[in-house]
A and B are shown apart, each in its own frame.
Chain A
C-alpha cells in the first residue's frame, strides 16, 4: 500500500467529536406521522402520484421523477395519506410534502427482506441504471445529485475510476463510518455494480485514517474482490469534498467549473453505494438511511437507521434531548450543516446527522478586526483569499470578488472556522456567489 495521502492545498483539523463512532446502528422505530418532501434532490421536484386518503405501503412510489435531473420518492412507512400540501420544512419555508399517518409496517412484496448477501450481478448496465432510477437514489453525502445521471457517462468522456467516498470529514458525524463497519460487503458489491454500469474495472474505497474499524473490515473483505481497493487517507477537513478527494487519490485537479468525469473520476458516497446495492439486488427503494444524532445537548448520542420523513423531534426524543435545553438544531455536520427553524422538520435522503447544541455553543462569536494573519489563505482548500473577498464584498465590488474566484468557493467553512478575529468570511463568500449568480 502506498503512503498515506491527503489533498495538497489548505485544510483544517477541527476537533473530531466523533462520540458515536462505536455506537452500533439501532433502528429508530416508526414515527406516528411521516412527512415526505417531494424534493429531496437537486433538480426539479418529483410529480406527486398519490392523493389524500390513499393507502400506501413501505416502498410505494409516491412521486415520479419529473425530467432527467430529478428523482423518484417512495413511501418509507405504511399507512394512510393524510394530506398532500405544502407545510413548513427545515428552514420554515413551505415545501410540498406528503403527510402519512403510520399504520403498521407493511412492505411492498417486491422488496427482498432476507438478510442474505447476493454477490452475482446478472444485470446489464442499462438495467442497473434503470433500477437505480426506479429506486430514487440520490447522492447521500449531502449534494443530492440524482445518481442515475451521474452513473451515465456522457458522450465523449471516459470514466477510469470509481471512488467510493467513505471520508466523512465533518466532525460529530459517524453515519458513514458505521455503515462501512456494518454493511462492508454490501458496499463492496455496490461498487462492483456501479463499476459494471460504468464499464470500468476498478473502484477505490477512500477512508480517513481516523476510522480504524471501517478500514480493518473493508481491507479484510476487499481481498476477495478483484478491482476494489481500500485507500487510507490522512485525516483532514474537507477531504470528503469531491474535488479534494479526487486530488488526494489521483493527484488530478478537476478544472474550475468542470465535473469529476472530466478527469475520469466518479465519486459516490458510501451511503449511495449501499443504496445502489439494495436497489439492484434487493429491489429496495431508498426510503431509509443512517442518521447520527449527536451534539452536546444530546444525552445519549447514537446512530439510528431512520425512515425518510421521520420528524427530527422524534429522533431528538430518542436521544433524550430536552427541547428547552437545545439552543440550536443542525441538519448535517457542524461545518456545512444548516440550522433548523422547525423542530418537526423531516429527515430526508440527504440528512446525515442531527446535531443538538446547547445554548452556549449556539451563538456565533463576536467579530473583531482583521489582523491580517493570513490563516484563511493558508487553510482554503481552493486557494482563494477569503479576506480579500470579504473586503471586496464590504465595498459591494462584485466584479472584484469574481476576479478573486469567489465562484470556485466550495463553502467548506474552513476560513470562517479558522479566523482568529471570527470574521464571517464564509458568509461574505456565499453573498458574493449569490450576487454574481443573480447578475447572470
Chain B
C-alpha cells in the first residue's frame, strides 16, 4: 500500500517538475523586453482603453509617452485622465505638461418625452443606431435624440444615464472625461465636446434641427426655429441652415443668461444660474 502511495507521489512530482522546466524555458524563450517605465505610466492612466487619445489603448499610450521626447510629448494628451494625469506622467518622465482647458460632453437636443412626444411606437431591439436607420424616430424629429441610450451603453466611464422622466441622456459632469465615445456612437452626432467653462458655466444651443421653424416646432417644442433673437444678444452667434450655433468662444458668464432668456423655445441652455427663474432649464443641468 505505502509503495503505491510513494509511487504516485513520485510520478506526480515528476510531472510537476517536467512542466515547471518546460514553462521556465518557454517563458525565457518568449520573454519580451519592455521598458519598466511603460508599466509605471500605465498605472497612472485611467485604464478605460477608450481610445480618445488616438492610440489603441492605455498601454499603447503609455508606450508612446515613454518613447516621446520633450518635443512630441506635447502632442500626447490623455483626454480621459485630463491635466492631473498628464502632470503626473510628465513628472515621472521629466517633461513639462501642457495645461489644457477642461472639457465636457454636452447633449445638443432637448427632445424630451414632453417636448417631443411619441408619434409612432417603436417595438423591438432598443438601439438608436438601428432606429435611426429605419425611421426618423418616435418623435418625428430627423435630428433629435432617439432616447434608446446607445450612448449610455457605450460610455466607458458611466457618466451618462437616461433620465427616466425626460427620456433623454444626462451627462454627469463629474464623471465625464470628454473621451468622445458618445460623439462617435450617437447616430445623430448630438454630443459635442465643449469647454467646461468657468465654474461649469456653459451656454450652447441644444438642438441640431435644420428644418424650417414651423416644421421643426411641429415635432418638438424646444426646437431651434432660427428666429435670430440670439444673434441680437451676441454677434458671435451664428445661424446657418435654420439652426443657431453658439461658438465655444462666446463667454458664458457674459452672454449666457441673456442668450438663454432670449430664446423663445428654450433651445439655448445656460448651465449657470439665471436671473429669472427658469426651473425647466435648471433641471437640464
Contact = CB atoms under 8 A, between A and B. Distances in A.
Q: Do chains A and B touch in the complex (CB under 8 A)?
A: yes
Interface residues of A, number: 20
A427 B136 contact: no
Contacts of B135: 91-92, 339, 341
Contact of A94 (B124, B129, B211): B211
B29 interface: no
Interface in A385-440: 396, 424, 427-428, 430-431, 434-435
Given A93-B142, A94-B142, A427-B130, A341 B123 contact: no
Contacts, number: 45
Nearest to B136: A92
B154 interface: yes
B123 A92 contact: no
B142 A434 contact: no
B9 interface: no
Contacts of B119: 341
A434 B134 contact: no
A300 interface: no
A364 interface: yes
A428 B125 CA distance: 9
Interface string A79-113: 00000000010011110000000000000000000
B142 A92 contact: yes
Interface in B140-158: 140, 142, 153-154
Interface residues of B, number: 18
Contacts of A367: 125
A339 B125 contact: no
B275 interface: no
A341 B120 contact: yes
B276 interface: no
Contacts of B154: 396
A430 B133 CA distance: 10
Given A92-B142, A364-B124, A424-B125, A339 B130 contact: no
B123 A430 contact: no
B166 interface: no
B125 A434 contact: no
A8 interface: no
B127 interface: yes
Contacts of A424: 124-125
A422 to B, nearest CB: 10
A427 B127 contact: yes
Contacts of A396: 153-154
Contact of B133 (A88, A362, A434, A435): A434
A92 B140 contact: yes
A430 B187 CA distance: 14
Contacts of A338: 134
A400 to B, nearest CB: 15
Contact of A93 (B124, B130, B136): B136
A331 to B, nearest CB: 11
B134 A339 contact: yes
A427 B211 CA distance: 30
B134 A364 contact: no
A431 B124 CA distance: 14
Contacts of A428: 125
Nearest to A86: B211
Given A363-B123, A424-B124, A427-B124, A91 B129 contact: no
Contacts of A93: 136, 142
Contacts of B142: 92-94
Nearest to B134: A338
Interface string B149-185: 0000110000000000000000000000000000000
Nearest to A394: B153
Interface of B: 119-120, 123-125, 127, 129-130, 133-137, 140, 142, 153-154, 211
Given A396-B153, A427-B125, A427-B130, 16 more contacts: A92-B135, A92-B142, A94-B142, A339-B134, A339-B135, A341-B136, A341-B140, A367-B125, A396-B154, A427-B124, A427-B127, A428-B125, A430-B130, A431-B130, A434-B133, A435-B129
Interface of A: 88, 91-94, 338-339, 341, 362-364, 367, 396, 424, 427-428, 430-431, 434-435
16 contacts: A92-B135, A92-B142, A93-B136, A93-B142, A338-B134, A341-B135, A364-B124, A367-B125, A396-B153, A427-B125, A427-B127, A427-B130, A430-B130, A431-B129, A434-B133, A435-B129
Q: Which 6 A-B pairs have the closest CB atoms?
A: A92-B136, A364-B124, A424-B125, A427-B125, A363-B123, A364-B123
